[in-house]
Structure 1
Amino acid sequence: MLHSKALRKREVETLLQLAQGELDHLLQEAEDFPPGEREHLDAFARARGEKAHLQWEGSAVYAWAAASQRFRDQGAVLLNPDLRSRTFAPGKWIGFQPTSVGPATDWETDLGVIRLLHTTRRAAAAAMAEELSETADAQGVVTVCSLFGDIAISGPALIAADIAQPQLHYEAQWGTVTKLVGQRLPWWPDLLRRADVISQWSPGAPVTMAELLPDDEETTLREATGPWHLFPEVRSALTDLANSLHNQRIDSVSSDVRIFGKYGTSPDGVPLLVAAQHPTDGYPLPRIDDRDLLTRGWQALASSQLFEAYEPLSIMMRTDPTLLPFGPRIKVSDHTPAARRWAAQLRPCAPSALHAVLADDAQDVTFHRDVSTGTPAVRIRSADRRSWTFLAPLRLPGRQAQLKSVILDDTVWVSTTDGRIHPAPCTLHDHLWWGHGGGDRPTEAAWVITQLMDDLNAEVTLANHWSHAPQGLTELLSRSHQPGTELSRSALELARAQQYEDAS
């Protein structure tokens, strides 16, 4: 049951139309009554000598009342079990309603008007029911339903709120509303739930073919191509990502139609009516296969110091960061010995768009770059701490150097025989960690370290790391090491060899 308003004892009695003190007798008689609990009092309330009252979750009491013989007239309208056995006259579609919480359709039924909100906005049904309850004319509406965004046992999941008790929302069944209405109910895919689309529908109307409007990110990317008219690779990169996002949203609509069209059926076998789809002509939008071209375009944006590069780059970093030659974003404290050694290798630099994305909304920042790996780094100072945010390298420099040791701190650090220290390289969507993992093992770190021991310049892979990582090295990294622990190459070699000894 969804959580709604908590009710104290007198409020429960008012809901159930009981005399004061009568709830005590009901609690003794009704063993299935929802359990109550003491309200939470903060320290100030306790200091004032206030006592915690017993309270009940309102929606649970409201649903219980609907299922009981004595109180069902005071309970949730659409949970009344009598609805399952009653025969209803066919309902009537009243029309489209542009409400304050989203587009709706109104349906006249034997119970009164049911307003169906075509939105998954949180608490939309309760907000609409409360708004109607405060007006002189509720337009005959007795209950409001909104979409929950998932599929229940009889179709799309619904949240209902009755005009009589607007704050006590509850789960309702699409099949129940279908039975009351007496015909197939229209349903719109999430990205097509627009007033201009829903207002076109009426019973018997053909499926509306509605274009998918660009969202804010797609619009930003397409508008950003203007300032880059002299840089065709940048324009290509921006357009390609905009097309990609649009195609993903089209795929989302198609998936919704496929899933809800197949499973959105009431127990009586009445399917929902898919009221709108997107046109298929011209889709999917074209994509660029030349990965190198796209990478060059995004690298130009990342290194740019133009303000116009920031927002497109932020979108790319959220959607497809593989288009830059770096690993995952990492944040470390600046006071550890490993971080201080690494920071000494960095050079201050003018901020690029990529620096700005890493800094986010931090105010006190300085900008740096690791010349050997090209890694951008931002030092952030706040009132209580100082830290570094950077992108991990995909590979390490130093053709003549070897791995000297590994330091386990905020991240895995690698020191090399040429006197340098680096964050360990990693693939974009993975992580490196160590210590006891409740049955899991840090095979990612063990496999990366193994590859660097064989070739410091290797572009590491984590494919099948759970089977490739040496058993002994995985066991060593599974221990609860103190932060800052440094494991020498000889210790790593000894641990790695343990796997072969065990296998022999």
Structure 2
Amino acid sequence: MGVASSYLSKAEVQRLLGVNGFGWWRLIRKYESFPKPEERPVGLVVFGEGESEEVWDGTHVYTWAAETPEFAHRGALLLRPLPEVRAPGGWSGYRDTVRGPALDWHTGLGTIRIVHSDDRKAASDVASAVVKSGNPDSVVTVCALFGDMGFHGPALVAADTAHPGIEYEASWGDAAALAGESLPWWPNLLRLPQVIRLWRPGAEPAVVEVPANEHERVLRRAAENEAFDETSRMAVTDMANDIRNNRIDHTGHDNSIFGERGHGTEPNPVVIGAVPDTAGHPLPCDGDPQMLRAGWRALAGSSHPDAVAALEVAAVRHPGLLPFGAVTEVPIRSGTVSDRWARRLTMCDPTAAHAVLAQGERAQSFLIDPLTDMPVLRTTGNDGKTIWRFYAPLSLPAAGEELAAVVLHHTLWIVTSGGHVHPAPCTPNEHLWWGNGWGDRPSEAAAVSDALLGDLGATVDLHGHWKAPKGLTALFNEEHKQGTELSRSTLLHARMTPPRTR
């Protein structure tokens, strides 16, 4: 989350600190620690300062004031020295807010409202809404979750109702000391209004079912669709179970971190508000990879909307289970190596794989490569020009042929001894390139070429691509022109030749 930035003009700083022109002159000369002005960020509008381009960081000024005895009464409320004698505090009930569920705590300073959200500007937005409503609950400050761990519990971001637009970091330990008791905390996935609303001091942690996210809901819907075969439904169920297991494990891990005892001898004043329901956990997943891949292959060829939605999830979560490699784009130009390849493409009805490949855009035509079964689109690129967009294959049909040449045209193209042209195989999370990579070297291209020189039908594995022969990597590191053809003999010679040292 972090503390949201705010900027103040000179006039606004003077109002915050309660000083006139002479007081400002005196302050600047007396306090070398006073925050220095900054150049006004581009697009920032600050009223009340004429033509001045200088502004002050509101958080820095507000924090400085709290730490400076002369101005502490005008500084950040939760950064001022805590009173040695504090009036008894305590829980004051649940509140719905514009940024999520909150609990109020009565303290000697007034009501502290803690919003159980780590969204950016949650503290400031709720404090502003409180002021706008007339502040019927006498809230003096609003705290929200920073999203990280502090020294005495979860880190907090605070915004006082006196200056709701300024956020600052606050201590969970200080808030708990003012409240007079340990404060409840809920893990992210269980931070639900219906759960937090029921909490009372002294209550045991609620056991709550971790809600499904959108990805899991999509997969469960596909798993219940009888239009798909059993293997496909097992494949999507496996991935849905994996998502649920991860979310339950993540929630338990959050509780173990934020509910830990503390850095010193004293435990952190933290009460865990809810724990995940682990009945039946973990669900079965990580099934037979061949079965899973077969199920996803069938879904990729489906035209059902549920297959499209499920495939979109898999493409993000586990693309290695899908029957195709990296998304690749090349411009459509006559006389190029890709033009030779395109002549064998055949028109077809769109499948789920085509729909995912389209990335939400409208395609001109849907095709398939009959030799590799890879889906292909004729569509428009970002520059408005027509392109081929396709999935790279994971392997090539060999049929007794061997690699005859590699042609460089926006990716690697393989020319076989039988005269066929294919986009080079590439795993989903890699890409094939050549030339100076500004410190990076095109070892992926070298690894693919090395594998296919030995076996044209090899399934490439680029996990260890940096181990590719140094001579091949050096060859692809050269600044070859588009359309350059590297013959088999050139590749073999480079593979056996150590690169020259400079």
The TM-score, its normalising length taken from structure 1, stands at: 0.90
Report the Cα distance in structure 2 between the residues aligned to 1:237 and 1:301, rounded to whole angstroms: 10
Report if the CA contact (8 A) 1:151-1:263 is conserved: no
3-state SS of paired residue (2:260)? helix
CA displacement at 1:133 relative to structure 2: 0.9
CA displacement at 1:314 relative to structure 2: 1.4
3-state SS of paired residue (2:389)? strand
Letter in 2 for 1:326: F
Report the Cα distance in structure 1 between the residues aligned to 2:171 and 2:418, rounded to whole angstroms: 68
CA displacement at 1:469 relative to structure 2: 1.3
Q: Kindly tell me: are residues 414 and 105 of structure 1, through their superposed partners in 2, closer, same or farther at Cα, counting changes over 3 Å?
A: same
What's the counterpart of residue 436 of structure 1? 436
What's the counterpart of residue 459 of structure 2? 459
Report if the CA contact (8 A) 1:175-1:265 is conserved: no
What's the counterpart of residue 154 of structure 1? 152
CA displacement at 1:186 relative to structure 2: 1.0
What's the counterpart of residue 476 of structure 1? 475
Letter in 2 for 1:369: I
Report the Cα distance in structure 2 between the residues aligned to 1:412 and 1:153, rounded to whole angstroms: 53
Report the Cα distance in structure 2 between the residues aligned to 1:363 and 1:21, rounded to whole angstroms: 66
CA displacement at 1:78 relative to structure 2: 1.3
Deviations 1:20-78 (A, max 9, x none): 47545533443333232332567xxxxxxx95621122222222222222222222111
What's the counterpart of residue 45 of structure 1? none
Letter in 1 for 2:386: R
Q: Kindly tell me: are residues 75 and 281 of structure 1, through their superposed partners in 2, closer, same or farther at Cα, counting changes over 3 Å?
A: same
Report if the CA contact (8 A) 2:37-2:54 is conserved: yes
Report if the CA contact (8 A) 2:152-2:268 is conserved: no
Report the Cα distance in structure 1 between the residues aligned to 2:165 and 2:86, rounded to whole angstroms: 28
CA displacement at 1:478 relative to structure 2: 2.6
Q: Kindly tell me: are residues 479 and 264 of structure 1, through their superposed partners in 2, closer, same or farther at Cα, counting changes over 3 Å?
A: farther
- Listed as ranges, the matches of 1:210-359 within 5 Å are 210-228=208-226, 231-262=229-260, 268-287=266-285, 289-335=287-333, 337-359=336-358
Gaps of 5+ in 1: 43-49
3-state SS of paired residue (2:259)? helix
What's the counterpart of residue 46 of structure 1? none
Report the Cα distance in structure 2 between the residues aligned to 1:106 and 1:316, rounded to whole angstroms: 42
Q: Kindly tell me: are residues 209 and 418 of structure 1, through their superposed partners in 2, closer, same or farther at Cα, counting changes over 3 Å?
A: same
Report the Cα distance in structure 2 between the residues aligned to 1:222 and 1:386, rounded to whole angstroms: 37
What's the counterpart of residue 72 of structure 2? 72
Letter in 2 for 1:403: L
What's the counterpart of residue 110 of structure 2? 112
Deviations 1:108-135 (A, max 9, x none): 1122111111111221111100000112
Report the Cα distance in structure 1 between the residues aligned to 2:169 and 2:483, rounded to whole angstroms: 52
**Residue 17 (structure 1) aligned with residue 18 (structure 2):** yes
Report if the CA contact (8 A) 2:6-2:166 is conserved: yes
Deviations 1:452-492 (A, max 9, x none): 111111111224333x3112222222334444443333332
Query: Which range moves more in the overlay, 406-415 or 261-270?
Result: 261-270
Q: Kindly tell me: are residues 306 and 23 of structure 1, through their superposed partners in 2, closer, same or farther at Cα, counting changes over 3 Å?
A: same
Query: Which range moves more in the overlay, 321-330 or 114-123?
Result: 321-330
3-state SS of paired residue (1:262)? coil
Report the Cα distance in structure 1 between the residues aligned to 2:344 and 2:6, rounded to whole angstroms: 57
What's the counterpart of residue 366 of structure 2? 367
CA displacement at 1:209 relative to structure 2: 0.7
What's the counterpart of residue 121 of structure 1? 119
Q: Kindly tell me: are residues 320 and 350 of structure 1, through their superposed partners in 2, closer, same or farther at Cα, counting changes over 3 Å?
A: same
3-state SS of paired residue (2:372)? coil
Report the Cα distance in structure 2 between the residues aligned to 1:365 and 1:28, rounded to whole angstroms: 70
What's the counterpart of residue 388 of structure 1? 388
What's the counterpart of residue 486 of structure 1? 485
What's the counterpart of residue 46 of structure 2? none
CA displacement at 1:256 relative to structure 2: 0.9
What's the counterpart of residue 97 of structure 1? 95
Report the Cα distance in structure 2 between the residues aligned to 1:288 and 1:54, rounded to whole angstroms: 58
Report if the CA contact (8 A) 1:4-1:167 is conserved: no
Q: Kindly tell me: are residues 116 and 443 of structure 1, through their superposed partners in 2, closer, same or farther at Cα, counting changes over 3 Å?
A: same
Report if the CA contact (8 A) 2:98-2:125 is conserved: no
Report the Cα distance in structure 1 between the residues aligned to 2:28 and 2:337, rounded to whole angstroms: 64
Percent identity reads 42
Gaps of 5+ in 2: 44-49
What's the counterpart of residue 206 of structure 2? 208
Report the Cα distance in structure 1 between the residues aligned to 2:421 and 2:279, rounded to whole angstroms: 54
Deviations 1:269-308 (A, max 9, x none): 3342112101222111223623333222222221112233
Alignment root-mean-square deviation, CA: 2.6
Deviations 1:402-450 (A, max 9, x none): 2233233432332323333322212333333333344443322222211
CA displacement at 1:89 relative to structure 2: 4.1
Report the Cα distance in structure 1 between the residues aligned to 2:112 and 2:370, rounded to whole angstroms: 66
Q: Kindly tell me: are residues 216 and 419 of structure 1, through their superposed partners in 2, closer, same or farther at Cα, counting changes over 3 Å?
A: same
Report if the CA contact (8 A) 1:97-1:106 is conserved: yes
CA displacement at 1:141 relative to structure 2: 0.9
Deviations 1:138-159 (A, max 9, x none): 4121111111222123321211
What's the counterpart of residue 166 of structure 1? 164
Report the Cα distance in structure 2 between the residues aligned to 1:134 and 1:266, rounded to whole angstroms: 41
Query: Which range moves more in the overlay, 131-140 or 214-223?
Result: 214-223
Report the Cα distance in structure 1 between the residues aligned to 2:180 and 2:319, rounded to whole angstroms: 50
What's the counterpart of residue 184 of structure 2? 186
Report if the CA contact (8 A) 1:392-1:425 is conserved: yes
Report the Cα distance in structure 2 between the residues aligned to 1:72 and 1:387, rounded to whole angstroms: 64
Deviations 1:168-191 (A, max 9, x none): 111112222122223221111111
Q: Kindly tell me: are residues 76 and 365 of structure 1, through their superposed partners in 2, closer, same or farther at Cα, counting changes over 3 Å?
A: farther
Report if the CA contact (8 A) 1:155-1:263 is conserved: no
Report the Cα distance in structure 2 between the residues aligned to 1:437 and 1:267, rounded to whole angstroms: 52
Report the Cα distance in structure 2 between the residues aligned to 1:29 and 1:433, rounded to whole angstroms: 61
CA displacement at 1:344 relative to structure 2: 2.9
Report the Cα distance in structure 1 between the residues aligned to 2:68 and 2:168, rounded to whole angstroms: 16
Letter in 2 for 1:106: D
Query: Which range moves more in the overlay, 453-462 or 427-436?
Result: 427-436
